[in-house]
Structures are given as structure tokens and as C-alpha cells.
Amino acid sequence: MSNTERNAERCAGIEDKLVEYLDGRAKPAERRAVEEHLTACSSCRNRAEEFRHLWSALDDLPVISPSPAFDASLRARIAAEPARRGFWSWLPSPRLAFAVTALVAMSVWMASIPRVTINEKAMTGVPVEADFSMIRDLPVLENYDVLSKFDALSELQAPPNGSPTQEGTKEIR
């Protein structure tokens, strides 16, 4: 590669950094690289100088003021904007909207839980009242002395019709 080509390559490498360098925003390493090149390259040095003159000239562009009616016209356009209403706008606050949503969701969930009924009769085959009477009579049934006398009672003659008591019959307690 000739010197001219090498210089052209270095100039091309500086181009993207030149603007940043001239407006004082280049990083230190980049600033040093540009300054080194400008010291050695008159063409880029001239270009940098002309860029500075150009920026001064660009400052001569006058600043125009908005017309006196600008603000009033803008306010009229804003006033003409339709009011936007969202889906939940009828609720006074987002918190209330969230609470209502949570309540509805919980109600739906609870309604979907299947009811479990216990069929006690199906489980045991014995009425509940019968169970209770069995338990109530349990002390008598466990008394074997009493139970052994039941056979003797069966040999007794049946009392005549209408008699309230029978001779020899004892009330077993």
C-alpha cells in the first residue's frame, strides 16, 4: 500500500470521530487519536477548521417565534379531544375494581367445589337410633349372671289373660 493510500485510510478512520472531537464530546482515547492525525494531516486539519467556521455560520440562522395564536389554537384542539372512558371507568378506583374481580372469582370457585354427603345408613346398615339403644343397654348385656337366668324364665307358664303379673316372676334389675 502506498503512502497516499495509507493516509487516505487514516483520514477515513478519523471522519466519524471528527464531529465528536470538535464538539468536545470525544472520549480521551479518541480525542488523542484525532489530535495525532490532525497534527500530521493538513487536509484533515483544514477540514476541521472549516467545520468550525461552518458551525459559527449556522449559528446565524434566526430563531422564529410561534405566532401569538399558537397557544390558544392548541388549547382549542385539546378541548375538542373526546373524553376517553375505559372499561372499568365506572369504578371509582383500581383497588375497588381489583376487589370486585377477586370476590367474583372466589364465588365462582366456591360454587364449583362438589358437595360431599355422608350416607351413614349406607355405611353401617343399622339405624342410628338402634345403635344408641344398643349402647344404652350394654351394661345389662354384659352382666352374665343376669343373662344366665333368661333361660329359666322361658320355662315359666304364661299367665292367664288379663292378669297383670305372674307368680314367681321377678323383675330383673
Partner 1 sequence: MLDVKAGDEQSFELLLRKYRTPLVNFLYRMVRDSAVAEDLAQEVFLRVYRARKEYAPSAKFTTWMFRIATNLALNSVRDNRHRQKEISMDHVVDAGDDEHPAMEVPDRTPTVEQQMVARSRSEVILRAVHALPEKQRAAVLLHKYQELDYDEIARILECSESALKSLLFRAYETLRAELAPLVNSVGV
Confirm or reject binding of residue 20 to partner 1 (CB under 8 A): yes
Q: Is 47 a binder of partner 1 (CB under 8 A)?
A: yes
Between CA 133 and CA 137 the distance in angstroms is: 6
Q: Does 53 bind partner 1 (CB under 8 A)?
A: yes
DSSP string for 51-100 = HHHHHHHHTTSPPPPPPTTHHHHHHHHHHTSPPP--TTTTSS-HHHHHHH
Q: Which three cell numbers stand for residue 44?
A: 484533515
Give least dist CB 69 to partner 1, A.
9
Q: How far apart, in whole angstroms, are the C-alpha atoms of residue 50 and residue 32?
A: 20
CA gap 124, 126 in Å, rounded: 5
Can residue 60 be called a binding residue for partner 1 (CB under 8 A)?
yes
Establish if 67 lies at the interface with partner 1 (CB under 8 A): yes
Q: Which of 9, 50, 120, 131 binds partner 1 (CB under 8 A)?
A: 50
Asked if 56 interacts with partner 1 (CB under 8 A), we say: yes
Residues forming the site for partner 1 (CB under 8 A): 15-20, 23, 25, 47, 50-51, 53-58, 60-67, 70-71, 73-74, 77-78, 81
